[in-house]
Amino acid sequence: MTRKSVQQTEEGNIASRLLAWYDANHRELPWRRAPRDLAAGGRADPYRVWLSEIMLQQTTVEAVKPYFRAFLEKWPNVKALAAAETEEVMKAWAGLGYYSRARNLKACADIVAGLPEGFPGTEDELRKLPGVGAYTAAAIAAIAFNRPATVVDGNVERVTARLFEIRTPLAEAKAEIRAAVEGLVPADRPGDFAQAMMDLGATICTPRRPRCMLCPVREDCRAILSGDPELLPVRAEKAEKPRRRGAAFVAIRNDGAILLRTRPDKGLLGGMSEVPTTGWTARLDGDTSSESAPFTADWQHAGSIAHVFTHFALELDVYRASAGDKAAPAGHRWSPAAEISGEALPTVMKKVIEAAIPGATKARRDSPARHA
DNA sequence: TAAACGTGGGA
DNA sequence: TTCCCAAGTTT
């Protein structure tokens, strides 16, 4: 009935083919309910959908999996997460990147835990939550609440630009792409449709070397007919990445504790822990390490590390010194050796500490991080 | 509108 | 090695 009427349009054909493909070829993911489960009356848990969507923002599925499992084990529902300390959330998020997501995650949990109905089910209401933008609001509405929302992420943009041969550069093509996707969304299974588009983009309609021979909608794809699908979507060329330098100081107390401090909540690596460093904008001419070290000591050059952020590349000279039993300077604290692996250390800081003390950031059996 | 914001894996 | 860029949001 409704299915037949939908299939009478070209758009309906695309959605139907895509859903049939999804039924047979969907990826199995820790946060996903299989179409079979949903057909049997299963419901996606909004908490898990939300948590996974936040983690997946600009982040690969493989990187997210272990973090998703760890979060779910520590905090099985939104009230548990709301009861947690922000610091613990930052520690659990360490290494995943884009740390404002962790802060917003906690802020969002605090809000939702206070709502009688839990997560709202409409895009408009979801969109008001911290860390939830246009994409995430639509994804949660569609996947967790079966609303016919138009879900547009990077995969969907690529698939759609190829399907409709949209050659407008991506930045200016957003509205056009959104309108095209909106015309495809089936009233029947909007959540599965959204996930089908994303799975197609991730496994078939890939950025490079798309597997068009395996594509369920290749007969509907205009990019195949009149060009090279791999050339779409058209992206603006990216600006050259500035290179910055600095120095980092690993101070080691007699008992093996390391001197740390916490970065401001806003900005790069906001709210995360670090060893003392110089500023990262200055181009170091010669050795200025002793001037900007946290205290005077016999600082030894322990090597250097390189790390690439989204908008600049960083090289840090790493200095190491024994600190005896010195008290921590203002704004700093000593982190016991056994607790280093559980600290909210971003990857760049783990590299620094490893350069000074190999193995220091690896989890040990007696480390609290393993018992938490 | 554009820049800021992390990290890791694939080619 | 180097480049690309992934289930984006915020300011």
Residues A195, A54 share a domain: yes
Residues A290, A164 share a domain: no
Minimal CA–CA distance to A138: which of A68, A67, A193? A193
Protein-proximal positions, strand C, CB < 7 A = 4-10
- Closest nucleotide to A131 by C1' from CA: C9
Residues A227, A366 share a domain: no
Protein-proximal positions, strand B, CB < 7 A = 2-9, 11
CATH number where A283 lies: 3.90.79.10
- Closest nucleotide to A129 by C1' from CA: C9
Residue A174 CB in 7 A reach of strand C: no
Round to a whole number and report the distance in Å from the CA of A328 to the C1' of C6: 40
Q: What count of other Cβ atoms lies within 10 Å of the Cβ of residue A350? A: 20
Catalytic residues of A: 53
Residues A351, A308 share a domain: yes
Residue A133 CB in 7 A reach of strand C: yes
Residues A208, A83 share a domain: yes
In window 208-267 of A, residues with CB < 7 A from nucleic chain C are: 235, 238
Give the rounded distance of the alpha carbon of A198 from its chain centre. Answer: 16
Residues A264, A222 share a domain: no
- Does residue A237 lie within any of the structural domains? no
- Digit-by-digit pLDDT tens for chain A (372 residues) are 344 444 457 776 999 999 999 999 999 999 999 999 999 998 899 999 999 999 999 999 999 999 999 999 999 999 999 999 999 999 999 999 999 999 999 999 999 999 999 999 999 999 999 999 999 999 999 999 999 999 999 999 999 999 999 999 998 999 999 999 999 999 999 999 999 999 999 999 999 999 999 999 999 999 999 778 999 999 888 888 899 999 999 999 999 999 999 999 999 999 999 999 999 876 655 555 777 899 999 999 999 999 999 999 999 999 999 999 999 999 999 999 999 999 999 999 999 999 999 999 987 654 444 333
Q: How many domains does chain A have?
A: 2
A182, two tokens: 């909106």
- Does residue A54 lie within any of the structural domains? yes
- Does residue A236 lie within any of the structural domains? no
Give the residue from A170, A205, A231 where a domain finishes: A231
How big is the CA angle at A165 (ends A23 and A220), to the nearest 5 degrees?
Answer: 40
pLDDT at A285: 53
Residues A110, A75 share a domain: yes
Give the residue from A231, A251, A274 where a domain finishes: A231
Q: Whats the size of chain A, residue-wise?
A: 372
CATH number where A127 lies: 1.10.340.30
pLDDT at A137: 98
pLDDT at A288: 59
Q: What count of other Cβ atoms lies within 10 Å of the Cβ of residue A323? A: 19
pLDDT at A17: 97
- Does residue A164 lie within any of the structural domains? yes
Residues A305, A335 share a domain: yes
A54, two tokens: 């936040």
- Residue-number span of the structural domain to which A219 is assigned: 2-231
Round to a whole number and report the distance in Å from the CA of A35 to the C1' of B3: 40
Residue with tokens 């246009």: A134
- Does residue A238 lie within any of the structural domains? no
pLDDT at A306: 95
Q: Give the helix/strand (H/E) hosting A246.
A: strand A243-253
Give the residue from A203, A231, A259 where a domain finishes: A231
Q: pTM value?
A: 0.94
Supply the DSSP string of A331-370, one letter for each residue.
T-EEEPGGGGGGS---HHHHHHHHHHSTTTTS--TT-HHH
Round to a whole number and report the distance in Å from the CA of A236 to the C1' of C2: 19
A163, two tokens: 């399907």
Residues A300, A223 share a domain: no
- Closest nucleotide to A98 by C1' from CA: B6
CB A212 within 8 A of CB A229: yes
